[in-house]
Chain A
Amino acid sequence: MDIALLIEKVILISVVLGISLVTAMYTTLAERKIAGFLQDRYGPNRAGPFGILQPLADGVKLFTKEEIIPREANRFLFVLGPSLAMLMACVGTAVIPWGEELEIGGRTVSLQIADVNIGILYIFGVVALGVYGIMIGGWASNNKYSLLSAIRAASQNISYEISLGLSLIALLMVTGTLSLGEIVEQQRGFNWNIWYQPLGFILFLTCSFAETNRNPFDLVECETELVGGYHTEYSSMKLGFFLFAEYINIFVASAVMSTLYFGGYNFPGMDALAQAGVSQNWITLIGVGAMFVKVLLFIFFFIWVRWTVPRFRYDQLMKLGWNIMIPLAIANIVITGVVIWLTGN
């Protein structure tokens, strides 16, 4: 194996992982700030200017708190739960193309860790495995609220995975490839998939809210019914891992949505810039910037929805998933098929 390639990939992996962790860290601050704004109060503003050091303070607090493992819990599974949640949240970043190629010293560096030819299925698999952290944690706690929450998490994720997969199938009919790299290249300039798949995008967005257990679908940790849900018995950094994994999931979900429907690193006028003689490296960097702007907008959208829309009831959630989302997703596939057939390609 090529040593230079290995070094390049290791650096890329560390950078991507670092950026996703830092983004997730500051999403916690952004969430509290935006919540404050929406509720007409100040958010956290004591640690550093504008509360900018708040995530660090939170981290230190979580690390130094006493760690309690309930006597009645299964220790092995109890520790495994948050670790799995964190792991599954992080591995999703591997197939997302963050930008085009960079030229560094005559070497072309692709800003995608692994362009596997089954990228979408990989994402889908990671999403399917994401529920394990919650299930194992909730189950190992040996607490009835945690157990209820784990059962809710499992049934909610399975139900919404179906419509998630069906909305992706319609997208795949348009793109004709499973590779995320190729899907982004097809959307060059302003030719984004959202123009072809508006209904599919709305379905995907709703499902990603359900899959990341965010309000209005956060029945899994609904305080009013289940105390703390699956993390009732957790304390210290294990609790921190669960909460943090949720923010990484939001980051990954935002990145996936930007990649699949909003052109990833493509931005309007990139061809004009190339013709105007701007070097490829600058266009790539602007593209990475565009990608991040899109991701941050999606993260903002997640937070905005959380603090404005009330929580569903559990039966309403299930009804929405099975009676509305799945028929809509199937209708979307049929419409897409008919349109492709009529337009001849």
Chain B
Amino acid sequence: MTAIFYILAGIMLAAACYVAVSRDIARAVFCFFGVLFAMAGLYIFALADFVAVTQILVYAGGVVVLMIFALMLTDKQLLENIRRGESSGPRLFRARALPSILLALAVFAVLLQVITAVDWGNMAWRHEAVAAGNRITGHENMVENVGVNLMTRYLLPFEVISVFLLAALIGAAYLARGRTNN
């Protein structure tokens, strides 16, 4: 089982790297799709199946379609890229990308340092959760629990998000409307 986790994580990171360095934007977007899909697999490994399905529905089903849509509408360079086809492979090191690489590596080093510095086996909250039976084991139906929690404990954030989504919907429609007055 852990092997599958590493395979998924590997696919995800490889696709993410491709997105970061590829010059072919069309392929980059499809690799983004691959990243999201592999992420959904990782969520299932974290025993959050509802989150995984939400990820597939919202991201892979909606966000990437929107992105491809925008790409089709905006990028003239894209058709050129498609025409050049195979010749546009990724180019890893560019001089102007050096600061970004350094920054990303520095952040990664700091995060790695923090993660490895923590002794995960002896965290107090972890022992408490295991002792109180508050740990997800993968045999229970979490969807029902998540649903009940959404409608009771987290009702206020839920409603705030609904209002926010409405605002975003109106805002996006306003921005994207045709300008008839000028």
- The residues of A with any CB-CB pair to B shorter than 8 Å are 72-77, 80, 116-118, 121-122, 124-125, 128-129, 131-132, 135-136, 139-140, 142, 147, 150-151, 154-155, 157-158, 161, 178
10 new A-B contacts, CB < 8 A, other than A73-B82, A128-B56, A136-B30, are A74-B82, A116-B49, A118-B53, A118-B143, A129-B60, A132-B65, A140-B82, A155-B69, A158-B62, A161-B61
Contact sample, A vs B, 12 pairs, CB 8 Å cutoff: A72-B83, A73-B85, A74-B82, A74-B85, A77-B82, A118-B50, A122-B53, A125-B53, A128-B62, A129-B56, A139-B26, A154-B68
Interface residues of B in 41-89 (CB under 8 A from A): 49-50, 53, 56-57, 60-62, 65, 68-69, 72, 79, 82-83, 85-86
CB-based nearest B residue for A158: B65
Picked from A80, A128, A140, the residue with its CB within 8 Å of the CB of B57 is A128
CB-based nearest A residue for B60: A129
CB-based nearest A residue for B37: A129
Q: Does B27 contact A (CB under 8 A)?
A: yes
Instruction: Verify A178–B57 contact, CB threshold 8 A.
Output: no
CB-based nearest B residue for A141: B82
User: A224 to chain B: closest CB distance in Å?
Assistant: 23
Q: Does B141 contact A (CB under 8 A)?
A: yes
Residues on the A chain within 8 Å of B82, using CB: 72-74, 77, 140, 142
Task: Report how far A20 CA is from B53 CA in the complex, Å.
Answer: 25
User: A176 to chain B: closest CB distance in Å?
Assistant: 9
Q: How many A-B residue pairs have CB under 8 A?
A: 69
Picked from B69, B79, B143, the residue with its CB within 8 Å of the CB of A142 is B79
Given contacts A75-B85, A122-B53, A178-B143, contact A154 B65 (CB under 8 A): yes
User: A145 to chain B: closest CB distance in Å?
Assistant: 14
User: B56 to chain A: closest CB distance in Å?
Assistant: 4
Residues on the B chain within 8 Å of A125, using CB: 53, 56-57, 60-61
Residues on the A chain within 8 Å of B30, using CB: 77, 80, 136
Task: Report how far A135 CA is from B72 CA in the complex, Å.
Answer: 10
Q: How would you classify the secondary structure of chain B's contact residues: helix, strand, loop or mixed?
A: helix
Residues on the A chain within 8 Å of B141, using CB: 117
Q: How would you classify the secondary structure of chain A's contact residues: helix, strand, loop or mixed?
A: helix
Residues on the A chain within 8 Å of B33, using CB: 132
Task: Report how far A147 CA is from B72 CA in the complex, Å.
Answer: 8
User: A68 to chain B: closest CB distance in Å?
Assistant: 15
Given contacts A117-B143, A121-B57, A125-B61, contact A135 B83 (CB under 8 A): no
**How many chain B residues touch the partner (CB < 8 A)?**
23
CB-CB contacts of B147-178 with A at 8 A, as 1s and 0s? 00000000000000000000000000000000
User: B122 to chain A: closest CB distance in Å?
Assistant: 32
Residues on the B chain within 8 Å of A117, using CB: 49, 141, 143
Instruction: Verify B53–A77 contact, CB threshold 8 A.
Output: no
Residues on the A chain within 8 Å of B27, using CB: 76-77
Task: Report how far A155 CA is from B86 CA in the complex, Å.
Answer: 29
Picked from A72, A76, A129, A147, the residue with its CB within 8 Å of the CB of B61 is A129
Instruction: Verify A151–B72 contact, CB threshold 8 A.
Output: yes
5 A-B pairs with least C-beta separation: A128-B61, A125-B56, A74-B82, A121-B53, A125-B57
